[in-house]
Each structure stands twice: as C-alpha cells, then as structure tokens.
Amino acid sequence: MVGRSSRVTIHDVAKAAGVSVSTVSKALNDTGRMTAETRDKIKSIATGVGFRPNALARSLLFNRSFTVGLLTNDTYGRFTLPLMSGISEALVDQGVSVFLCAIEDDPKLAKIHVDAMLDKQVDGIIATGKRIDRSLPVDLAGLPVPVVYAYSQGTEGSVILTADDAQGAQLAISRLRSTGRRRLVHITGPESFASALERANAFQRTVGPDAKVLFGEWTEAWGHQSIAALFDAEGERPDGIFCGNDQIARGVVDALRERGLRVPEDVAVVGFDNWEIVAAQTRPALTTIDMNLKELGRIAGLTILDLAEGRPVAPGLRKLPCSLVVRQSCGSSDQGN
C-alpha cells in the first residue's frame, strides 16, 4: 500500500492557477520565460494556498538531500553540543539539516546509524568524539559521501579539524606570566591522552625543560591531590598553575583555598575547556582556555558543504586557535607590574 499526502503539491497550485505544473515550477524558481504578470499571479496563488515544495522530491532529483549526519560517541555532550551548535549555525541558512547520531562506542550501533544516514542520502558526515586521539568504532573511509573529522582521529588523507592545544597552552602561560608569575606548574590528565601530552610539551617548550608537569586524572580529586603533593613537599612552591581542564582547576582552587592560600593573590590558576558549569561556579571563577568548539563546528559545517558541492578542500590536520576567557582565578594582567 502506498501513502497519500494531504499536503498541497505543485499540482494543486497548477490547478488553482489554471496553468501546467511546469509553468508553476518555472514561475516559482524564477526560471523559464513567461510574462511578469503570469509569474506574479502564480507566485501569489502559491503562497495563498500555502505551497511548500517537497524537499524529498527535489532531493531525489538533484541527488542532494541537504542533510548531513553528525556522528558522536560523546554521550555527555561535553564537546558535541557546542560543535553541533556551530555546525547548525553554519548550515541552517543553506537549508541543510543535521542528523545527530549518538553511538555509544558500539560498533554495531554505529554501523546501523551510518547505513541509515547513507540510505537517507546525506550529503556528508561529520565525525566527532570525546578524544582527539581515538577514532569512532566504525570505518568511515571509502564511503560514497565526504567525511570531516572534528575533534576526533581521522584516516589518512581526510580532513581533520581540531583545537590547537599547544597554542592554547601558550595562551595560558603568557597570561600567567603577564600577571607576574614565574614559578609555573602544569597539572593535567593522563599522559595517554594526546591533548594532555601536546599541552604538556608546549608547556615545557615554553617554560623550560625542567618545568614541572604532573600527569594524573581529569578529576577534581586529582586537583586536590596534586596540590597536597606540591605544597606538602620541600622546596620551591608554584605561584602559577596551569591546569589541563576545568575540573582539575576547580579541585586545585578549592584545595588552595582550604590551605589558606588566596587565589589569585598567592597562586594564580588557569583552567582549560571553559566548561561554564564548572568554570563559572568555582570561587573565584576560573580564567580558562576556550577551544572555540562552536567555531570549530562552524568550520566543519562549511567544509563538509564545500566537499558536498565538489569544491576542493585541502586534506590534513587543521588546528584552530583557542582563546583565553578571563574571569577571576588569574588576577588582572597588570597586577604583576
């Protein structure tokens, strides 16, 4: 059995206007030849009966669905939502909609979703994850549609978009230095995370070879622990701490406060991620690095569009700059002078 639409079609418009469907189509698309009079009459009739062209029919004809898929295994949406927001913003005025597919590290589920998207003729797929150094549990190479990796590992020769961790680290360091801090320490997550490593390397390159880096976990608890370790030990104590993420930074700030140290007067702290919910609720609120994921999403959207429309895009890894978000945990930049 075949469904029947109750929506108004171009045939209804044609009937109402007393012309053929071809004339209606040409009138509405400002193509073909006809008197301005005819065109205007048809247009007004079309809006009068509330005609909106069926995108499915167009898609079938143009082999272009004006739809892209966003594949993610980031259940929390820590990265996905800002990204999604940027993608959507870049594409909405092109009339492109976004399928969001949450695959929970499940290869089977991933395949189902990818197949469904392909069946629905998406113009492209954006793959994203929660780690820059892991790929989704599904092979996206050799698909009949373009793929862009955003904040996820990608295959050889593909387009990969990511935040510039090293530049972000440098931003944090120069902020700390501009407030007069000289004894800097970096407290971050596991060494096994590429972004932790990248930031740590940038930290050591910039601060000096024996600059102290503490690898641990991405948790508040680790922030607490590392402060205990740093301040219970003998020797020089840091006056500026760059944290690998905002949760660690929160733990650090809380631990410092509990020890009677003032933030930012005694120790300045800079976080990473600008996760509002953490950064803004910390007292004092965190100065932190924002990866501009929304902008990353916007560029991912534009890129997939370029690829879908056959415009050339240079493959390879593209690092987008981070920016500094100033709150209170690092003082004002003239404070040190």
Binding site for a second copy (CB under 8 A): 2-7, 52-57, 59-67, 70, 75-77, 80-81, 84-85, 88, 92-93, 95, 97-102, 109, 112-113, 115-121, 144, 219-221, 247, 254, 276-278, 281, 283
Instruction: Please select the residue that binds DNA; options are 15, 16, 43, 53, rule is CB under 7 A.
Output: 53
* 29 lines the binding site for DNA (CB under 7 A): yes
What lies within 8 Å, CB to CB, of 3 at 6+ separation is none
Residue number, 34 or 261, with CB nearest to DNA? 34
**Smallest distance from DNA to CB 125, Å:** 19
DSSP letter string, 200-226: HHHHHHHH-TT-EEEE--SSHHHHHHH
Concatenate the DSSP letters of all residues of 252-312 into one string. Answer: HHHHHHHTT--TTTT-EEEEES--HHHHTTSSSPPEEEE--HHHHHHHHHHHHHHHHTT--
277 is a site residue for DNA (CB under 7 A):
no
Q: Residue type at 67? A: T
Interface with DNA includes 9 (CB under 7 A)? Answer: yes
21 binds, among a second copy, DNA, none (CB under 5 to 8 A by kind): DNA
Asked if 143 and 304 count as a contact pair (C-beta separation under 8 A), the reply is no
Other CB atoms within 10 A of residue 4 CB: 5
Q: Which is nearer to a second copy, 31 or 35 (CB)?
A: 31
Q: How many Cβ atoms sit within 10 Å of the Cβ of residue 137?
A: 16
DSSP-derived 3-state class of residue 240: strand
Residues 56-75 that bind DNA (CB under 7 A): 57-58, 60-61, 63
Residue 49 near DNA by CB under 7 A = no
Query: What is the bridge-based pairing of β-strands 67-72 and 97-102?
Result: parallel
Q: Which is nearer to DNA, 63 or 337 (CB)?
A: 63
The residue among 102 and 302 lying less far from a second copy, judged by its C-beta, is: 102
Kindly indicate which of the ranges 22-30, 75-83, 233-241, 284-292 contains the residues binding DNA, using the contact rule CB under 7 A: 22-30
Give the residue from 257, 254, 258, 294 showing the smallest Cα distance to 274. Answer: 294
Shortest distance in whole angstroms from residue 57 CB to DNA: 3
Q: Which of 120, 215, 163 is nearest to 322 (CA)?
A: 163
**Residue 109 site contact among a second copy, DNA, none (CB < 5 to 8 Å, cut-off depends on kind):** a second copy
Size of the site for DNA (CB under 7 A): 33
Nearest approach in angstroms of CB 14 to DNA is 7
Q: Does 51 bind DNA (CB under 7 A)?
A: yes
Residue 21 CB, nearest approach to a second copy (Å): 16
> Under the criterion CB under 7 A, does residue 144 sit at the interface with DNA?
no
User: Taking a C-beta distance cutoff of 8 angstroms, is the pair 242, 174 a contact?
Assistant: no
The binder of 190, among a second copy, DNA, none, by C-beta within 5 to 8 A per type, is: none
Least Å from the CB of residue 315 to a second copy? 20
**Tokens 């594949």 belong to residue:** 71
Contact 137/157 with Cβ under 8 angstroms? Answer: no
311 near DNA, rule: CB under 7 A:
no
